[in-house]
Amino acid sequence: MAGGLTYTATESTAFSTAEIYGKALCELGEKHPEVVALTADLGKSTKIGMFGEKFPDRYFNVGIAEQNMFGMAAGMARAGLVPFLSTFSVFASLRSADQLHTDICYQNVNAKIIATHAGTSFGQAGSTHHAICDMAVARSIPNLTVICPADGLETYNAVHAAYDNFGPYYIRINRGFDRVLYDSTDYGFEVGKAVTINEGSDITIIACGSCVFQAYQAAKFLETNDGLKVRVLNMHTIKPIDREAIVKAVMDTRRIITAEDHNVIGGLGSAVAEVIVEAGKGCAFKQLGIPDKFAPIGLHEDIMSSLGIDQNGIIAAVREVMGKDFELDDDWDDEV
Amino acid sequence: MALTKQEWLELEKQAHELRKLCLDTTYWAGSAHIGGGMSVMDMLTILYYKYMKYDVANPQWEDRDRFILSKGHAGVALASLVCHVGFDDKEKLKTFNLSNSTMGIHLDSNKVKGVDASTGSLGHGLSIALGTALAAKVLGKDYKTFCILGDGECDEGSNWEAGMAAAHFKADNLISFVDRNKCMIDGRTEDVMKLEPLADKWRSFGFIVKEVDGHNFNELADAIDFALENKGAPVMIIADTIKGCGVDYMEDDYKWHYGALNEEKYELAKASLEKYYAKRVARAEKEGI
């Protein structure tokens, strides 16, 4: 369990998610001389540059050369360092995918990729800078743990967890400010374990990243206006996915919606669907996300709205799924 | 410093043993990347038998010198070497490329002892080697990192990202080679994708370049000695080599990038290696001091 963050949620609103990452990394750098940082000319944008200001001898800006950065990190990790790498998610997952796959993951080295500007969070930059398939790529590479934190404080926990656990990590965080979900880091963050944000028995929304806050808001609205008890799971870890929480949600609520700022192919929704299908439990199921198309240009919140992964979109989806029929399986009463 | 005649002859002997082992492994496997394996063999020999610090009983010794075979398809040569020096079991070479073997075409550094990186996807090794070299500086260690690139591999843009960074970060503890055998899968390097002037390219990226005969231990030793003394910039040794070196019917023929051996070819190759060794010994005797 990560700890030691002294500023409060209120104060944390003054920091972007990436700034909280930068602070967390600096803390790790203070304590652990083997922590080094690499970026590809995005020190300022990803905030990994904060580490460079404090520890210039352990900071490597490789220029605009992501493939080299990933290979270098693999060599550094093998030699006993713990490299943290930051660039935009779209480049971390695609431009240097071969190095991520082979140098980092096949060799199973202790390197941590903190990929920023995830999903459509760099909305105005357009599809060249939207990361809509990074989780699909990362999730399908063996040895790689994939985390999509919901806000800044969860990012803090994820960064510390990445240091605490050996092996390659891919953590995707957003550009700028996330809506604050947690008021402290002390809520029981554990890699691979979903966090129940809201209890409910009628339907479950399984969300990650920026969609968690939206799902929570939707759940509150639906409780007040529709009388629905909506369970919300913050599925911060995409791999290894929390199978137990998913199957329990199916058994308890029989209606599942997933919400993610990512293509519906290959990300959180796919991961959840795989678990449900393998469990063999019938349920109504709907995926919210980017419907296998390139997203429009715009502010992140406007894009989320247009994709139906904001509060209103999630409310509409819940109402739709509540009206759906589904086939009961034979062992409806099975315990999970 | 020039090699003594005795050192030179000892290196020739080890290189000959390694070439024979590489040939045997290719024969046992049925086929392998023997052409590039033979061209790179003298570089491997001099590194592991003259220069590198390592401990076969402790392959992960943290102060050891590192070696990254960026042209990972020459795994048949590296497998022969790590077994010959004693990191791994020579018997395993008889399983090379067979199902469930720990040794495939491209060696897995988590499975084969003495292998520092899992290479095979080309254009990766120099970056890994650079990271390894820079880690020594961060950790305050004096180990050296050696890296061998294929020449065809130099087509990959990522090498030039790594090259730019190696010079920028003044990685003078990184010593690299290009195995300039002038062949790649589909033909001669200059026909498939022109590389020349290759030395000028590396120079313009900030390397100190040495061009040597990659099958002459004295020239290789001079270049490596220079590189070890050098401060402030990375060194690239462009080793002029012969694909399939030592096996007359393979030499300088790009079609032997990857090849299969039947009994007849195997026997011809063995005889050719003996003749080649005799020539190499004669040169060492004549030119050695």
Residues of chain A with pLDDT under 70: 1-13, 327-336
Of the candidates A105, A113, A106, the residue with the CA atom closest to the CA atom of residue A40 = A113
B126 CB neighbours in chain A (<8 A) are 71
Give me chain B's average pLDDT, please: 97
Name residue B237's amino acid.
I
The confidence score (pLDDT) of residue A8 equals: 59
**Is the Cβ pair B161, A67 closer than 8 Å?**
yes
Measured distance CA(A42)–CA(A44) in Å, rounded? 5
Q: For B242-262, how does the pLDDT look when each residue is reduced to its tens digit (9 = 90+)?
A: 999 999 999 999 999 999 999
Nearest CA in chain A to B135: A76
**Based on the number of CB atoms within 10 Å of its own CB, is B264 exposed (0-12), middle (13-18) or buried (19 or more)?**
exposed
Determine which of A72, A91, A108, A109 to mutate to test the interface with B (most B C-beta atoms within 10 Å).
A72
**Is the Cβ pair B130, A57 closer than 8 Å?**
no
Determine contact, residues B92/B37, Cβ cutoff 8 Å: no
ipTM above 0.90, yes or no: yes
Q: For B133-187, how does the pLDDT look when each residue is reduced to its tens digit (9 = 90+)?
A: 999 999 999 999 999 999 999 999 999 999 999 999 999 999 999 999 999 999 9
Measured in angstroms, the CA of B6 and the nearest CA of chain A are apart by 35
The confidence score (pLDDT) of residue A324 equals: 86
**Based on the number of CB atoms within 10 Å of its own CB, is A2 exposed (0-12), middle (13-18) or buried (19 or more)?**
buried
Nearest CB to B128; choose among A63, A74, A108: A74
The confidence score (pLDDT) of residue A10 equals: 56
The confidence score (pLDDT) of residue B207 equals: 98
The confidence score (pLDDT) of residue A80 equals: 98
The confidence score (pLDDT) of residue A167 equals: 98
The confidence score (pLDDT) of residue A326 equals: 73
B167 CB neighbours in chain A (<8 A) are none
The confidence score (pLDDT) of residue A336 equals: 46
Beta strand A35-39 with A59-61 is parallel
DSSP 8-state symbol, B102: S
Determine which of A59, A60, A61, A68 to mutate to test the interface with B (most B C-beta atoms within 10 Å).
A68
**Is the Cβ pair A80, B135 closer than 8 Å?**
yes
pTM of the shown model: 0.95
Which residue has better confidence, A1 or B126? B126
**Is the Cβ pair B121, A78 closer than 8 Å?**
no
SS3 content of chain B, % helix, strand, coil (to 5): 50, 15, 35
Total residue length of chain A? 336
φ, ψ (nearest 5 deg) of residue B55: -135, 110
Q: For B58-114, how does the pLDDT look when each residue is reduced to its tens digit (9 = 90+)?
A: 999 999 999 999 999 999 999 999 999 999 999 999 999 999 999 999 999 999 999
**Is the Cβ pair B131, A75 closer than 8 Å?**
yes
Determine contact, residues A62/B165, Cβ cutoff 8 Å: yes
Query: Does pLDDT of B194 surpass 90?
Result: yes
